Amino acid sequence: MDRPPRILQLLPALGDGGVERGTLEMAAYLARKGFENWVASDGGALLAPLRETGAHHLNLKVGKKSPFAINANANRLANLIDANEIDIVHARSRAPAWVGWLAAGRANRRPRFLTTFHGVYSHGNRFKRAYAGVMLKGPLVVANSAFIRDHIMSVYGFPEERIILAPRGVDTSVFDPEKVSEEDKALARAELGAGEDQPLIVIVGRITDWKGHRYLIESLGFAENRHFRLAIIGSGSASVIGELETLIAELDLSGRVTMTGSRRDIPAVMAAADIAVSASIRPEAFGRVAIEAQVMGTPVIATNHGGSLETVIDGKTGYLVPPANPKAFAAAIDTALADPEGLKEMGRVARAHVLENFTVETMLEKEFSAYERLMAERD
């Protein structure tokens, strides 16, 4: 081939989530390397930033799950693959993978097909396994954590040598403590309700019932330290938010807990916090919040399953606790806040840990190696 391969990424939409940001980061990375690349989606908040990278966007509703929609989208995509001379089709979830796999088979060019597992997909019966099985139709699969790699091997029997491990990474040009001023931190603390000398604990991310906010709130009643402020940052399920607000009122914690909704200054929030928490009651495939906090020098208390087992070193960069266990959260909070100097040292170790293992540059290099391997095996 006398030109770099042309790569097409597929995902349902370009919202402001982890999968979407990873897609945008890869598009920008490919553009910097001189690779012409495309993204097919239904658009969204990250469409304008995507276009700024120089990537092309194909407006296709590839997230639709009905067989009719998948078939129609596959036909459209096959024509676009041929028209744009696409060499690699890279799908990032199941419905887009069905569209991409079918389109790759129907296109005259016969592009290579690749998927990235960004999570644990339902596989409790043969129908769900068959639907998720499209993620294994290509010669290679990218896993976004060792937890997901092991899941792919154990549940689907996919061989380890065909899995590319590319753990998610943090953008250190954005999450950089040197770029957050003392004034920025003071403003964030004030807006989150923390007093000048009051420890601040934050939990950042989408609010759903499985993210475990309830158990963190309940832990305040068990913690010996009653001086800290808890800030819950994020949007999500209105019903769950309502339940949390009711719980806070019932436990008489309104003076100690702040719920802010979404914020755009997450680097400043993480830098301002003394501790960040990931309280998920189900294993997270990876969990970027843990590395975003640590790279800002903030230790993390996380539940001891899923990606947190890779990103948080218990007793060194934070603490791991059992899920859905308020007393365990309380004990970890008390231990951490009892030693302020030790907590600062833990933050320094946490930052070094992320810089060594979980940067976006490392992630992109590893995921890009899948493209290189696909093209080499084709030749």
User: Are 65 and 161 members of one domain?
Assistant: yes
Residue 2 lies in a domain: no
Residue 340 lies in a domain: yes
User: Are 151 and 277 members of one domain?
Assistant: no
- Quote the pLDDT of residue 122: 86
Starting from the edge strand earliest in sequence, which strands make up the sheet with 257-261, in order? 257-261, 229-233, 200-204, 275-278, 300-303, 318-321
**Which residue carries 């409790």 as its tokens?**
124
User: Are 205 and 165 members of one domain?
Assistant: no
Which residues, including other chains, have CB under 8 Å from residue 131's CB and lie 6 or more apart?
Answer: 94, 121, 122
User: Are 288 and 181 members of one domain?
Assistant: yes
- Quote the pLDDT of residue 379: 64
Tell me how many domains the chain contains. 2
User: Are 219 and 334 members of one domain?
Assistant: yes
Residue 366 lies in a domain: yes
User: Are 324 and 348 members of one domain?
Assistant: yes
3-state secondary structure of 291: helix
The C-alpha atoms of residue 191 and residue 213 are separated, in whole angstroms, by 20
Which residues, including other chains, have CB under 8 Å from residue 32's CB and lie 6 or more apart?
Answer: none
User: Are 133 and 265 members of one domain?
Assistant: no
CA angle (370 as vertex; 5, 122 as ends), nearest 5: 120
The model carries a pTM of 0.89
Calculate Rg over the CA atoms of the chain.
22
**Phi, psi torsion values for 114, nearest 5 degrees:** -140, 145
Residue 37 lies in a domain: yes
User: Are 318 and 366 members of one domain?
Assistant: no
User: Are 202 and 114 members of one domain?
Assistant: no
User: Are 365 and 285 members of one domain?
Assistant: no
Please name the residue ranges forming H helices in 167-257.
182-191, 213-219, 238-250
- Quote the pLDDT of residue 17: 78
Residue 88 lies in a domain: yes
Query: Can you give the CATH number for the domain in which 280 is found?
Result: 3.40.50.2000
Burial classification of residue 294, based on how many CB atoms lie within 10 Å of its CB (0-12 exposed, 13-18 middle, 19 or more buried): buried
Q: Which two tokens stand for residue 110?
A: 């016969």
- Return per-residue pLDDT of the chain as tens, 379 residues: 788 999 999 999 998 778 998 999 999 999 999 999 999 999 999 999 999 999 999 999 999 999 999 999 999 999 999 999 999 999 999 999 999 999 999 999 999 999 999 999 888 888 999 999 999 999 999 999 999 999 999 999 999 999 999 999 999 999 999 999 999 999 999 999 999 899 999 999 989 999 999 999 999 999 999 999 999 999 988 999 999 999 999 999 999 999 999 999 999 999 999 999 999 999 999 999 999 999 999 999 999 999 999 999 999 999 999 999 999 999 999 999 999 999 999 999 999 999 999 999 999 999 999 999 999 997 6
84-to-4, 55, 56 alpha-carbon distances in Å: 13, 13, 10
Structural domain that includes position 78: 7-169+360-377
Residue 198 lies in a domain: yes
Residue 1 lies in a domain: no
User: Are 181 and 309 members of one domain?
Assistant: yes
DSSP β-bridge partners for residue 56: 38
Helix (H) or strand (E) holding 320: strand 318-321
Question: Could you give the count of Cα atoms lying within 13 Å of 293 in the half-sphere of its Cβ?
Answer: 29
User: Are 349 and 365 members of one domain?
Assistant: no
HEC profile of 58-89: EECCCCCCCHHHHHHHHHHHHHHHHHHCCCEE
Residue 69 lies in a domain: yes
**Which residue carries 């296109």 as its tokens?**
107
- Are 285 and 307 contacting, i.e. CB atoms less than 8 angstroms apart? yes
